[in-house]
Structure 1
Amino acid sequence: MAVRLERRQLPGGLTQATTMQLYNFFRSGTSHRLRIALNLKGLAYEYVAVDLRSEEHLGAAFKALNPQGLVPALADGDRVLTQSPAIIEWLEERYPTPPLLPAGRNERAKIRALAAIVGCDIHPLNNRRVLEYLRRQFDCDTAAWCATWIDAGFATLETLLAADGTRGEFCFGGAPSLADVYLVPQVESARRFEVDLARYPNIVAIDRACNRLDAFRRAAPALQPDAPIP
């Protein structure tokens, strides 16, 4: 696997020896969250588009990279990482500055729980392959399906965020965390499926604060090279 070599100085004195290759799709929520995490860490990566619309992810070439046939995948030299939660945890361990998880054990558990509401309870039900199956087998109104599970998860998130009297402008404190990395792509999806976000003022405020940061803005689906030209 060819990877362009370079050296890049990172915060905390670490050096990135190679430019990683990110295999992803502009509208994929898991790809979106990984782009945010890489940007927050200040890591260079080569954008490699995998077109889900033409089912490129199911072809032999991509499955040789990731046998599961899902995006994203991150190539770092001869190492290929899959599954966005595992990749983000790997990034956190390999490039710990700036951190996406707080120092305290209890606080880390809270942030992981917020992220899991999106990553485990909302996104898997609204994944493209699930929606395709519902459309083909049951002629399902997939927009209503998606909105149902986004609303269920967001109602819980909004309650937890509103109850946290110590929260700053982000999900936790004054800097983005793993929870924000997961939340913002889900808000993007909620808008796509016309979820009424007026019911979730804390979520909307956090999304607005995140998107004032360059790391989040540059990761937006509409700005990716494989996004349709307006």
Structure 2
Amino acid sequence: MLSFFDQFLSPSYLGIPLMALALTLPWILYPNPTSRWVNNRLLTLQGWFMNRFTQQLLAPLNHAGHKWALLFTSLMIYLISLNMFGLLPYTFTPTTQLSLNLGLAVPLWLATVVIGLRNQPTEALGHLLPEGTPTPLIPALIVIETISLLIRPLALGVRLTANLTAGHLLIQLIATAAFVLLPMMPTVAILTATLLLLLTMLEVAVAMIQAYVFVLLISLYLQENI
């Protein structure tokens, strides 16, 4: 009996890890924009989606934060692609690995903190101590606020990992139950398969929402420091 968690092991073929291939594949599948005045439907839809997302994400940011537009949009498309491709059969979802998610979250969070300390050090350090705090509570409050600041990248990585891992586990459990129940109780198996279809649709939504939430939270952290 194989463990349900074997699907989250880093894949390898003939001893060669395939993680690099899984991370590179999304960039290959997207068409490159052309210099023509009129594009095909796919390029038009792709450009419209990126423009709408960028406008919505950068609306609450100051002008200084608009320099991050290309990074945020690229990260959003990249995470959505990884999450969506991982729902296909015989595929691997790199974003179920906490190490990868922390590798994305920690540098981006650290960049926002460094920008805040460089551009407005007084306001950045002032977030650690709210105004009007009683004097006896100052040391404890500084420690609590520092911990809450340092835990942000961990929360980003764990949120993305936990949501995708839980969804994949539920899909595998319900699919296994449907195959086991099919020869014994066909009616129950059909109901289970219907539940599996609904859960798969929910996972498609979760894959897109979690990618958006990841980028949105980073933009909110940036907004606090510019």
Does TM, normalized by the shorter one, top 0.5? Answer: no
* Higher RCO by CA contacts (8 Å cutoff, separation 6 or greater): 2
More helix by share: 2
- Higher-Rg structure is 2
TM-score, normalised by the number of residues in structure 2: 0.28
More strand by share: 1
